[in-house]
Each structure stands twice: as C-alpha cells, then as structure tokens.
Amino acid sequence: MTVRIVSYNILVPIYADQPEYFFKCQPEFLKTDYRWNLIESQLEQEIVNHESTIICLQELSLTLFPKFELFFRRLNYSLTHSLYGQQYNDYMGVGIAIPISMQLKTVSIIKMGDHLKSMKKSQGNTWNIFLRGWNLYQSMMSKIKLYAIDPWELAMGRNNTLICLQVLIDNKPLYIGTYHMPCMYKEPNVMAIHSSVVKDLMFELVNGQDFILAGDFNIKPRDICYKVLTEKDYTDYTFPKSNTYEISYQPDTQQILKSAYREKNGTEPAYTNYAYTQNTPNFCETLDYIFFNGHLTVENVLELPDRPLSESYPDETHPSDHLMIAATFRLS
C-alpha cells in the first residue's frame, strides 16, 4: 500500500499581489485568480494521478480558504487547518487535506509558542524573590532588548502551529504532520529551537508509529538546523539557553529524520524557493522538505527543475515563489 504526500507553500495573496515587491515578475502572473487556476490544476493532478494523496499546505490564508474548501469538497477531501497569523498577513496558516474515504483517527493542532512556554520555570530557589524583581525590572526597562538577547523568549512569541493527523491506510496507522518554520534568518537560535522541538514533539505524538513531517522549514540543507534534524548525535552546535527561565527541554539527538528527496535521489533538490525581491535578490535555495521516520520506503518523488528559467517566481507556470514537492511512500 502506498501514500502520496504533497507539500506546497502557496504564497499568501496579500504578499503576491505586490508588483513593487516582486518587481522582476510580470504583474499579470501575480494576480490571485491567475495563480489560483495554476495551484488548483497542479494539486488536482496529484490527487487524480495517485492513490491516497495527502496535501500539506503552507501559507494557507483567509482569502484563498473558501476556494480551497470548495476545491477539496469537489474532490471528496476534508481539510484540517489552522489560520494562526494576523491581519497584515491575511491570517496565514497551514492545512492538511485527506480523502474523505481515508479513516481519520486523531487530530492534533499545537501552537509551538504555547508548547515552548510549557517547558519553562522560574530560575533558582534561594534567589527566587530577587530574580522575580530583577525580571520585572528588565521587562519594564526594555522588553525589546530582553527579546533580542533571549532566543527562548523570541521562540515562545511565535504563533507557528503544527498540525498532525493520524490516519489508517490499509489498516496501518500513519501520522502526517505539516509545519511552517518561523522565517528568522537573523535569529538562528530561534530556528534551532523550533526545529528541534517540532521534531521531538512529532516523535512524542506518534509514540513509536511511522510518521511523515512535511512543510516549509525555511532552512537550507547546509544549515545547522538541517543537521540537527537529520544527523544523530550532532555535536557541532551548542543548543541555546534562556537568560530568563530554566527550560525543562533537552534535545533528543538520537531521534532523527530522513528526507524523502535525499533518500531517493541521493541529494536534496537544486532549489524549492526562487524569488527576486528587494530584500532577497536572486534567492534560489531549497527550503521545503518531506521528512519521515519509521518503516517507510520512498518509491518516487516529484521531479523538480534543475534551475529556474525566468527572472523570478511567480511566473507564467509557477504560481508561488515555492515549488510544489511530493513523494510516494510504501508502507511496510
């Protein structure tokens, strides 16, 4: 029995419809209706041409949500979602769509900031009163400065949400998760915290069962965060500590993930994200992954281009600045 996993960062319309931002793109290719027709066509091909296709979406937003609801209902799919963003980003979030015929056993929707807060406790015992006063003083004097020097405070402040579904495929349990990592390149410790904690949380949720974790992780294959996720006993990085709290969390360096594309092709894709903007000129990197663990075999992956042919995505045939990625797994 096989399952097809598709992961797609579809680019929030409020971001896409900005010709002055995507100034290398032709304006007509940034329009929501034009992009939606391409997105709908690409996803439908994956659903129609493969059995047991599960769709993981990032940058799902309020504007496109009604279209996705109608699209998935037409194809007899159900969509589990979390729109955790704010008005400025059209309440951006994530979602997982599965066939209605597929048995759904459990649903977990976990806001990572809240999960991280559950790991903290005030420092010390003897100096507890002093520290409370000192922390209050620091907070009053400079909240921004506190956040800047404490990666755990920054990490706890993020609304990014993990969705994890347990399904049965041919009576075999399988967990599917999707996550959109905070885009905080200037705060690599924050990304390391989210990367490690999301990984370990998936292992905790599945309790020894097979699982797949797909999404936009905003990390490159050569980054420390990628190595934290995929290399056992990785020691070339010191996990950050909090200046404010004692943190009960300890990374499990024995629990690691495999990447579907690397397992099948021997390497990650040449790129999955391509855009020429004012902030990131000619950015062309791999940021999207389908990670997994357990008794799963990667039968094939969606073929991706070796290099972009336009000046920037979105373009005539690519409706997002991200490529859609996909992999077919055989369940043992």
Q: Which ranges constitute the DSSP H helices of 50-111? A: 65-74
The answer to whether 103 and 97 are in contact (CB under 8 A) is: no
Contact status, residue 35 vs residue 314, Cβ threshold 8 Å = yes
The predicted model gives 91-99 an average pLDDT of 98
**How do residues 28-46 score in pLDDT, each as one tens digit?**
999 999 999 999 999 999 9
| pLDDT tens string 287-324 | 999 999 999 999 999 999 999 999 999 999 999 999 99
Which strand (E) or helix (H) includes residue 259? strand 258-259
Task: Give per-residue pLDDT as tens, 187-205.
Answer: 999 999 999 999 999 999 9
Q: Looking at the 3D structure of the chain, how many domains does it have?
A: 1
**Bridge partners (DSSP) listed for residue 178:** 163, 214
- Better-scored residue on pLDDT, 258 or 120: 258
Percent of the chain with pLDDT over 90: 84
Measured distance CA(83)–CA(175) in Å, rounded: 21
Which of 247, 167, 148 shows the shortest CA–CA distance to 206? 167
Question: What's the Cα-to-Cα distance from 263 to each of 195, 216, 257, rounded to whole Å?
Answer: 20, 18, 11
| Start-to-end Cα distance in the chain | 8
List pLDDT tens digits, range 124-145: 444 455 555 555 655 555 455 4
Which domain, by its residues, includes 23?
Answer: 2-331
CATH assignment at residue 127:
3.60.10.10
- Per the CB < 8 A criterion, the answer to whether 6 and 55 are in contact is yes
